[in-house]
Amino acid sequence: MSVYEASQVIGRSRATVTRLQREFREQCRGEAPRREQWGGRRRAYLTDEEETKFLGEFLKMASEGGVLEVGRIKQAFEKRVGHRVAKTTIYRILERHGWRKIAPRKCHSQIEMDAQAAFKKTPQNSRASRETAESVKNVLCA
User: What's the pLDDT at 74?
Assistant: 93
- pLDDT digit string, tens, across residues 31-73: 766 655 555 555 568 888 888 898 888 877 777 777 778 888 9
User: Where is average pLDDT lowest: 14-23, 36-45, 58-67, 114-123?
Assistant: 36-45
Q: Is 101 within a domain?
A: no
Please tell me the number of Cα atoms within 13 Å of 125 on its side-chain side: 0
Q: Is 13 within a domain?
A: yes
Between the CA of residue 96 and those of 25, 52, 105, what are the distances in Å?
Answer: 40, 10, 25
Q: Per-residue pLDDT for 114 more than 60?
A: yes
Model confidence band, residue 15 (pLDDT cutoffs 50, 70, 90): very high
Contacts of residue 141, defined as CB under 8 A and 6 or more positions apart, other chains included, come to none
User: What's the pLDDT at 17?
Assistant: 92
Cβ(99)–Cβ(59) below 8 Å? yes
Model confidence band, residue 142 (pLDDT cutoffs 50, 70, 90): very low
Domain boundary among 96, 117, 134: 96
Give the residue among 37, 5, 9 at the shortest CA–CA distance from 23.
37
Q: What is the spatial distance between Cα 74 and Cα 72, in angstroms, rounded to a whole number?
A: 5
- Split into its structural domains, the chain has a count of 3
52 in the same domain as 92 = yes
Contacts of residue 108, defined as CB under 8 A and 6 or more positions apart, other chains included, come to none
Element (H, E) at 43: none
Domain that holds residue 114: 106-142
- pLDDT digit string, tens, across residues 89-111: 888 888 888 876 666 777 777 88
